[in-house]
Amino acid sequence: MIPPRAPTTLLLAALAGCASSPPPRFYTLEGPPLATPTRADPARLRLSVGPVSVPDSVDREEIVLRTGGNRLELSDLHRWAEPLPAAIARVLAADLGRALGTPWAGVRGQWTGGEPDLRVAVDVLRFDSALGQAATVEAAWEVRRKDGGPALQGRTLAREPTAGESYDALAAAHARALARIARDIAAAIRRDGG
């Protein structure tokens, strides 16, 4: 016969075990802050970033680590604070604004500055995270002008070593890789007269 308190004791023990698991940690991709314009300047370039697509294998809340040639591992306790496509668009917009000297750079769908002069679409082909090693981002990108001129297209592979073994260092390395992609896009825009 089971004593009357046994189920309650077992339930409390099980709940105590669940309560002791560590909470997840959340990470963001951080680009430079955009300068706020002090007055309207119609000569300044206006651009929007989006859509941004990422591989299905990393399009999730958990940080996905590449642990071998064909092996990926989900980190349940280390997660992105926002969806990767949104984070990448936000960081690229900030990086492009800084590289092109314009405060009028924003994310598609959140754009409120009138019709942008340029629309930047990005297809992330690789978003590899190797903890304690490097962040690798490969992206194909396209820039379309408001006037309907020919699109600028390019592809950038950026690999940034991590500055430590932590997930913070990995997120920072991804942000640096995105900055390199933004520099390539900005250089193409400047060469084209934008």
Query: Which pLDDT tens digit goes with each residue over 122-134?
Result: 999 999 999 999 9
The more confidently predicted of residues 175 and 1 is 175
DSSP annotation of 58 reads G
**pLDDT one-digit tens code per residue, 114-168:** 789 999 999 999 999 999 999 999 999 999 998 888 899 999 999 999 989 999 9
**pLDDT one-digit tens code per residue, 12-39:** 445 455 556 789 999 999 865 544 443 4
Domain residues for 151? 46-191
Q: Cis (ω within 30 of 0) for the bond into 51?
A: yes
Kindly provide the residue ranges of all beta strands, DSSP E only, lying in the chain, ordered along the sequence: 25-27, 47-53, 62-66, 72-80, 105-107, 118-130, 134-145, 152-161
**pLDDT one-digit tens code per residue, 46-55:** 899 999 999 9
Mean pLDDT of 66-82: 91
Domain for residue 37, yes or no?
Answer: no
Model pTM score: 0.83
Domain for residue 8, yes or no?
Answer: no
Q: What is the CATH number of the domain that holds 72?
A: 3.40.50.10610
Domain for residue 161, yes or no?
Answer: yes
Report the alpha-carbon distance of residue 127 to residue 158 in Å, rounded.
10
DSSP annotation of 42 reads T
Domain for residue 7, yes or no?
Answer: no
Number of structural domains the chain divides into = 1
Domain for residue 20, yes or no?
Answer: no
Query: What integer pLDDT is reported at residue 170 of this predicted model?
Result: 96
Domain for residue 121, yes or no?
Answer: yes
Domain for residue 73, yes or no?
Answer: yes
Instruction: Report the percentage of the chain scoring pLDDT > 70.
Output: 81
Domain for residue 2, yes or no?
Answer: no
CA angle 147, 148, 152 (to 5 degrees): 110
Sheet architecture: strand order including 25-27: 25-27, 72-80, 62-66
Report the alpha-carbon distance of residue 95 to residue 81 in Å, rounded.
19
Show Cβ contacts of residue 183 under 8 Å, excluding neighbours closer than 6 positions. 95, 99
